Structure 1
C-alpha cells in the first residue's frame, strides 16, 4: 500500500480522492489553508497551511490544479524523491484499474454523473464513484465499490485529455474555463481552440463516446470515433415529455423501441437531456432498461442543483450552482415553471470568467423578475469584485429588469424584508451564496 499526502484536502475533489484512497487501504495525510469539516470526517492527520515539513513518510504527493509546480511543498517532495501527481493524473491511474465511465462537459456533468451512479446502484453493480457534488445516495460525493469506476472528469483541468475510460459521456462544450488572451492560469485553457483540442484527446482515448445528436461542435470533435448519440436523431430519446412543477415524466425510446416510463424528480428540459446521456451511457455499458428506469426515477438530485432549502413565510427558497450564462438561463427556465415570482440572489464566480461573460450573465438573468447581484466570489483571483457585479446589475436595469447591487449581509436583509408568499427566492452561483439561502430559511 502507498502513502499519499494530499494538498488542499478540504476541496471537494481532493477530499473525495482521499476517501477513495483510504477505502483501498492506502495511507493518507493532508494539508489545507483552512482545514475543516471534510478533513475531520476523513479522520486523517491534516496540517494547516502548506510546507515541505508536512510530507512526513509519504511516498506520493497529490497536487490540486491551481497549485504551481514550483511551490515549496512540491519542490520539497521532488527533492526527497517522492512521486508528484496532479489531481487529474491520480484520477487517470485510478480509473485505469477497472472498467470505467467518465462524464465531462461545460454544463450538467455533475447531475449526469449522479444519474449514472443511481443507475449503476439500481443494477447492483457496486460502483466506485467520484462526483463533483453531494449526492444522498452516496456517502457524500464519493463511494468505494468493487464494481465499475465512474467519475466526473473536469474539463476545466487541461490534463483531462490524458484520462482514458471505457465509456466517455460529453454533455456539451462552451468556452468556459478559457483564459482571456495573454493571461495564463493553471486551471484555465489558454484558448477555446486549446480546450477543443483537449476534448478531442479525451474522446480519442475512450472505448465509446456518448454525446448529443444535435450538437454540431461535439459531432465534429468526435468525427471518426466510435460514438453513440442521444436526443432527436440519436439512438435514445425522450417521447411525450410532460413538464411537472419539480420534475418531468416521459418515455425512453431506444432505437425505436419503447423502454417504458421515467419520472424525474429534478425539473427542467436540461435534466431530461442529462437523463438521456446517463441512460445511453448505461446501455452502452451493458445495463438493462429496468435498472435505467429505476435509477433515473430514484435519482434525488445533487446538492446545490435546484436544491429546495425550505420555505419561510410562504416563500420557497431554492439554491442552484449555476455559474455560467447557459446554466443560469436553464435554471431560470426551470424556476419559471413553478408559477411563482422568481427573485434571485446572484453571486458571479471568478474574476476572469465574469470579465469575459458579464454581458451574457445580464442577458440570461433577464428571465428573473428581480435580481440582487452580490460581489464576485473571486476564488483567489485578483480584480474588482464589486465593480464587475455592479456592471451586471446596471446592465439588467438598462434591460428593464428590477436589479440592484448589494453586499452579502445587505442582500440577506433585503430578502428578509421582501419575502412574499408567492415568491421563489433563488440563490445562484458556485461560491458561498448558498449560505444566504440557508440563513434565510433557518433564521427567518
Structure 2
C-alpha cells in the first residue's frame, strides 16, 4: 500500500490508523463530516464532508463501520478499482505483521490496552500501539514501534471476530451494542447470542485467550479453547486490595504465590480488574514480572477515564467516558472515594442503546447525590423517540427513585453547574459524546 484515503479520519480509531500508516511511509488523505484537532495534527490533506470528488490517486479506501458500502464515495472507489477496506479489516492486516496482543470487552478495553502499553514500554519492547483513546505515554492514540503489536479491538464491530492475535484479552461481556428486536444498524449486533458467537470467533483465532474467571458469558464463549483466567477462581488474582481516592494497591497472587505489591495511580475496583487482565496477558506474552509491576505503577490513565480537568471555586471537575450502566456505576463508586458530594452531568450516548438501557442507567445514576440529564448524543442515529424525550425519561425515573434530578440542555446545564458549584462538590461529566466540552468550559468559566 502506497497511498490511502481514510473516511472519518477525525475519529479516534481512524486517526490512529492514519498515524500508523504514515509512520510506515503510506501517503494519506482523508475526509470527515467535522474535521478537527486529530485530523489537523496528522498534517495531511483532509476534506470536509464525504464526496466522490475527494478521491485522487489513492489505491486503498479505508471505511469506518458506520459508513454504508453503497455510499457514493465508496461506490466511486469501487468503480475506480480501488481496494476497499473496513477499519477492522485494515487493523487485522496490520496486526498480522508481528507477534501481537488484542484487547476487547464491553468495558475497560481502552484502559487495559493502555496498561499493557505501559508494561511493554517498561519492558523495553518498543511496541506498536493502536488505542481507542488518548494516552500520554504514547503520546496520543497510537505509537509506531518495531516490537510487538498491541491493539484495542472494538467488539461493537462484527468484523472483530476475524482479527487474529497471539494473545487475546476479553475484559468482560455484557449486552451492549445490541440492536432492539427487528432493527439493524452499524455498530450493533442482532442479539446477545450473536455478540457472544463473534466473541468466541475472536478468542478462537488467538494462540491463547485471557478472560475473567468471574464472567459467565466469557467462560462459556471460551470453553474448550486455550485460555488463562484472572480473578478469583483463576490463576492470577488480587489480595489485600486497598482502594484510595486517586489510586489503589493490592498483592498480586499467581497460582497461590505472592508476586508482590502492585500500586495503581487510577482509582476504583474496576481498574484492579483491568490491571489483572493486563498482568496476565503480559505474563502469557512472556513479559518479566518486574516490568509488569512497574508498568502498572507508571500507567497514568487514559484521557476521559476519570480525568480531573480542573476546579471551580474549590469544586473538582472530572470527566469520564462511561456510557453503559455498568461503567456509570463503577465510575460513581470510584467518585465516592473522594469524599465529595457527587453531582453528575450525564449525556446518554446513542438512541438505540439508551432505548434498551434507560432504566438501567437510571438505577446506576442513583449512586450520585444529584444528576443533570442532557439530551441523548445520537452519533448520527435517528429514531422515533427524540433525544430530548429519552433524556427526560431518565430524569423523571431518577426522581421516582428518590434522586435529585433534572433535565436540561447543554447550555442550561453549564449555567446551572456554574451557578451552584461549591467547594465540597465533585462535578462529573459522564458520556461518550460531546459532554466532555462542558467539563472544560466549566473549568475555564471558573
Mapped contact 2:347–2:375 kept (Cα < 8 A): yes
| Aligned: 1:69 with 2:84 | no
What's the CA shift string for 1:301-320, capped at 9, x where partnerless? Answer: 00000001111111111011
| Aligned: 1:305 with 2:305 | yes
Q: Which runs of 5+ in 2 are unaligned?
A: none
Mapped contact 2:313–2:421 kept (Cα < 8 A): yes
What's the CA shift string for 1:190-236, capped at 9, x where partnerless? Answer: 11111111111101101000011111111111011000000111111
Residue in 2 aligned with 1:271?
Answer: 271
Residue in 1 aligned with 2:146?
Answer: 146
SS of 1:242 mapped into structure 2: strand
Residue correspondence of structure 1 range 144-293 to structure 2 within 5 A? 144-293=144-293
Q: Which runs of 5+ in 1 are unaligned?
A: none
Worse overlay, 259-268 or 394-403: 259-268
Residue in 1 aligned with 2:439?
Answer: 437
Residue in 1 aligned with 2:325?
Answer: 325
Residue in 1 aligned with 2:120?
Answer: 120
Q: d(CA) in 2 for partners of 1:213 and 1:222?
A: 11
Q: d(CA) in 2 for partners of 1:245 and 1:256?
A: 29
What's the CA shift string for 1:33-65, capped at 9, x where partnerless? Answer: 122211211111111221222110101100000
* 2:391 pairs with one of 383, 386, 389: 389
Q: CA deviation at 1:139?
A: 2.0
SS of 1:228 mapped into structure 2: strand
Q: Moved runs in structure 1, 4+ residues, more than 3 A?
A: none
With structure 1 as the length reference, what TM-score do the two structures score?
0.99
Q: d(CA) in 2 for partners of 1:308 and 1:35?
A: 26
Mapped contact 2:196–2:217 kept (Cα < 8 A): no
Residue in 1 aligned with 2:376?
Answer: 376
Residue in 1 aligned with 2:414?
Answer: 412
Pairwise CA RMSD: 0.8
Q: d(CA) in 2 for partners of 1:224 and 1:331?
A: 34
Q: d(CA) in 1 for partners of 2:214 and 2:292?
A: 23
Aligned length: 444
Residue in 1 aligned with 2:428?
Answer: 426
Q: d(CA) in 2 for partners of 1:112 and 1:348?
A: 23
Q: CA deviation at 1:74?
A: 0.7
Q: d(CA) in 1 for partners of 2:315 and 2:137?
A: 28
Residue in 2 aligned with 1:7?
Answer: 7
SS of 1:93 mapped into structure 2: helix
Q: d(CA) in 1 for partners of 2:208 and 2:185?
A: 31
Residue correspondence of structure 1 range 70-149 to structure 2 within 5 A? 70-149=70-149
With structure 2 as the length reference, what TM-score do the two structures score?
0.99
Q: d(CA) in 2 for partners of 1:395 and 1:48?
A: 40
What's the CA shift string for 1:141-185, capped at 9, x where partnerless? Answer: 100000000000000001001000000000001110011111111
Q: CA deviation at 1:321?
A: 0.4
Q: d(CA) in 2 for partners of 1:264 and 1:409?
A: 36
What's the CA shift string for 1:119-159, capped at 9, x where partnerless? Answer: 00000000000001000101201000000000000000010
Q: d(CA) in 2 for partners of 1:426 and 1:39?
A: 28
Q: d(CA) in 2 for partners of 1:139 and 1:431?
A: 22
